Amino acid sequence: MKPLITLATTLLMSLSTAAAPGQPTAAPRVEPPNWWVGMRDTSLQLMIHGAGIADAQPALAPYPGVTLKASHRTTSPNYLFVDLDVAPSAQPGELTLTVAGRTLRYPLLARAPGSAERQGFGPKDAIYLVVPDRFAQAGQFGRAGMLEGTDRADPGGRHGGDLAGMRKHLGYIAGLGFTQVWPTPLVENNSAKYSYHGYAATDFYKIDPRFGSNDDFGAFTAEARAQGVGVIQDIVLNHIGAGHWWMADLPAPDWVNAWPAYTETHHARMTLQDPYASANDRKRFTDGWFVPGMPDLNQRRPELATYLTQMTLWWIERYGLSGIRTDTWSYSDRDFLTRWSARVMQEYPRLNIVGEEWSPHPAVVSYWQRGKKNHDGYVSHAPSMMDFPMQSNLLAALLEDDGAHTGLTKLYEGLAHDFVYPDPANLVLFDGNHDTPRIHSLLRHDVGLTKIALAYLATTRRIPQLFYGSELLMRSPTERDDGRVRSDMPGGWAGDRVNAFTGAGLTPEQRDMLEWTRRLFTWRKGATVIHDGALMQFAPLEGVYVFFRHDAARTVMVVLNKNAKPVELALGRFAERVSAGQKARDVLTGATATLGSSVKVPARGALILEIER
């Protein structure tokens, strides 16, 4: 630990000097690498990095509609920030900038038709979460210059999954009924160890070459769209990897949050809402480093805030994304988050952003959702958040004995707390993710309970997200063990004995679960009453929880039976929504029947009925 802390502190406080006179210099680095005409905000700030470039006076060759407004330097002699204005009248083409005697050609592109009006993900969608390194390998991509090689025997190492593998199996994802795919970060993470997860970027504008190239990512997103699947980009705003190219030459000493000695965040996220919190605690939460290998970015620095905002817009526009998932949401500077989310939604008013706020408290999660009237006046523009409170309630509902405030009551009361959210239907509810043990293992390998969990996920008033492999009953330790939670998708590598994509080697239990999941989410894809219908729930009784989704034309009845025996459920209690004599279709079996005075619910199972009006 000590050497890492020393390295981090040294990197924080050091700046590279300019090249000596007469020494050859590399071509300046310019980010973002291109921009577009027709953006709603016409401002553009270029970060130019090159030896001794800071005091240069840039010149822009005449270009109709584009104006060079200003330029400025920071502490480092090797960075120049150039402010341009790209008016609505500007046409696609190539700008010519002269900087320190060098001619830089800068592309201005045309936006794709309908780009600004793109539809983001929402309650109509179902999201499939993939860890790319662990999903499938189908390419042979460059590993030259990368610090970590491939070792499938190491749970925490790189296993070699890539963009070609994900692209190859998009049909599998779409065939399961999922309409969005969320890969964990794909940008370069050039670290010596544990680089596969993607949350320690070393280059914000470059796909990690072990996954493929930026062009490969473009081919993946285009193929996904062709199969009716949107792509959600996982973007980290709070921190970078210690190997990020900035760390060898920081633009300014306060580019990352510096401390006299290494200081780690204490993860006390409630300090931001706590009326009694100390300033010291708040600062440590937001400015402390996540781990020694992940320097914490100081988004109060204006140039960095602009950089992160433009970087986000660049990925959306360049690759036609349908949404952004933002890691470690509340660890970032909250005023920056307001401006960042406002700018993204200004450019793409129908896009969706989902933030990760890992809190069990609805009051804390709701604080960050767009439209929330907060006690301190804080304003966010992020339409969605990950619903950690309900995910916790779902596990408790299925594991605890039922009582006045335990077991299934946790689901009932959790949903009753929707009054604190400005838009509860737009929250993302998940069975698990790359940071949590596998749900099937948490539910003690009980297939019935696992099906109940997924049935709830698919039918309640949320956007459902499934972790890859849940449909195969994949297992993990029940304590946190990231490498084993993110185990390889069976069949993703040549020679795998078990293959999820072909069905070879699957156990009967796995085959049944796979087909059951496919029926459930394929049905959900066309069930508009689930996408936008109202919800009515009934307090759980005797191990059974019932709720309805309904609109003016349709009704769906959902019954979750935790009992080890089938239940004959009398319908009289539910007369507000259903009655004897109506026809019903069992979504999961396809059977139809005329309802009598009761319905039979399978043991440890879910019953989902479409009721005819």
What single letter denotes the amino acid at residue 6? T
Residue 312 has which token pair? 């986000």
The catalytic residue among 162, 327, 333, 471 is: 327
Query: Which amino acid is residue 459, in one-letter code?
Result: T
> For residues 425 and 384, is the Cβ–Cβ distance under 8 A?
no
To the query of whether residue 356 is one of the catalytic residues in this protein, the response is yes
Closest CA to 69 of 57, 81, 83: 83
Local structure of residue 289 (DSSP, 8 states) = B
C-alpha distances in Å from residue 286, one per residue of 167, 205, 258:
37, 25, 12
Q: How far is CA 181 from CA 172, 223, 528, in A?
A: 11, 12, 20
Tokens representing 419? Answer: 């009054």
Got the DSSP string for 447-497?
Answer: HHHHHHHHHHHHHSSSEEEEETTGGGT----SS--HHHHTPPPTTSSTT-S
555 alpha carbon, distance to own chain's centre? 31
Shortest CA distance to 316 belongs to which of 355, 356, 354, 347? 347
What kind and span of H or E run contains 44?
strand 43-49
Residue 71 forms beta bridges with which residues? 82
Instruction: Report the alpha-carbon distance of residue 581 to residue 593 in Å, rounded.
Output: 9
What φ, ψ does residue 586 adopt, rounded to 5°?
-75, 115
CA gap 76, 7 in Å, rounded: 20
Catalytic residue among 317, 356, 431, 488: 356
What the block records as the tokens of 38 is 């027709």
Helix and strand counts by DSSP (H, E) for the chain: 15, 26
Please tell me whether residue 296 adopts helix, strand or coil conformation: strand
Ordered alpha helix ranges (H), 201-246: 214-226
CA 185 to CA 150: how far, in whole Å?
A: 18
Q: Could you give the strand order of the β-sheet that contains 592-594, starting from the edge strand earlier in sequence?
A: 534-541, 544-550, 555-561, 605-611, 583-586, 592-594
327 catalytically annotated:
yes
Cβ atoms 102, 80 nearer than 8 A: no
DSSP assigned state of 107: E
Question: For residue 75, what is the DSSP state?
Answer: S
Amino acid found at 267: H
Active site residues: 327, 356
